[in-house]
Amino acid sequence: MDYLDFSGVLSRGDLLAKGLLLTAQISLISMAIGLVIGVLSACLTLSGNRVLRIVVLAYIEAIRNTPFIVQVFLIYFGLPALGLRFDPITAAITAMSIYGGAYISEIVRAGIEGINKGQIEAARALGLSGYRTFRHVVLKPALAAVFPSLSAQFILLLLSSSVVSAISVPELTSIGNDIQGMTLRNMEIYLVIAVIYVTLVALLRGLMLGIERWAFGYKFVGR
């Protein structure tokens, strides 16, 4: 039985670092875009416009009921048939943003629906504008209430970034596959990749905890 030998893997640390950096970049960008998509979609599903509500609900159901890798392939391989071509990284960010936005929409919608309508009526009675009422009385408390769920969804989105290796995005998993082909050290490279992902998740969880404390106050942490 061969002993584990990490020397060939660790000697290619520069490649792993590049893959790690790209994974972090596409994940953070997708989280930001996905959050915007999710909030807007949640608002539209609760709006009085029936057509918009149906369109958004159809988008959410389509995303939630199809495999993520199929969505990636549709964007990267399917859209060129319609004249829309994306490079692998752009396709990855697009797919991850749309995918994350659908799930975030349902999380945010649940938070908004949990807001006491009496608070909204009180804000209107005090003369707050519609924008200020939505921002301070509806959206902020809703996000605070569902922030742990949002954090979990962001973590899932980070881990889902490994799927885009299927379209040759040189992120962490893709680089790991390349190194495996160079070294033939299967166990070693995937152990290293696993440790890196665990570390990334821990860092992201810490970042989200810090954002929660800063944005909503300590009392919301860990809810």
Q: What is the pLDDT of residues 94-110, one digit of tens each?
A: 999 999 999 999 999 99
Dist CA 3 CA 179 (whole Å): 18
For residue 70, being part of any structural domain is answered with yes
pLDDT at 222 over 80: no
For residue 108, being part of any structural domain is answered with yes
23, exposed or middle or buried, with CB in 10 Å at 0-12, 13-18, 19+? buried
pLDDT of residue 56: 96
For residue 48, being part of any structural domain is answered with yes
For residue 185, being part of any structural domain is answered with yes
For residue 36, being part of any structural domain is answered with yes
Confidence band for 2, pLDDT divided at 50, 70 and 90 = low
For residue 2, being part of any structural domain is answered with no
For residue 1, being part of any structural domain is answered with no
Overall number of domains in the chain: 1
For residue 79, being part of any structural domain is answered with yes
The enclosing domain of 145 has a CATH number of 1.10.3720.10
pLDDT of residue 42: 94
> Can you give the residue range of the structural domain that contains 157?
7-220
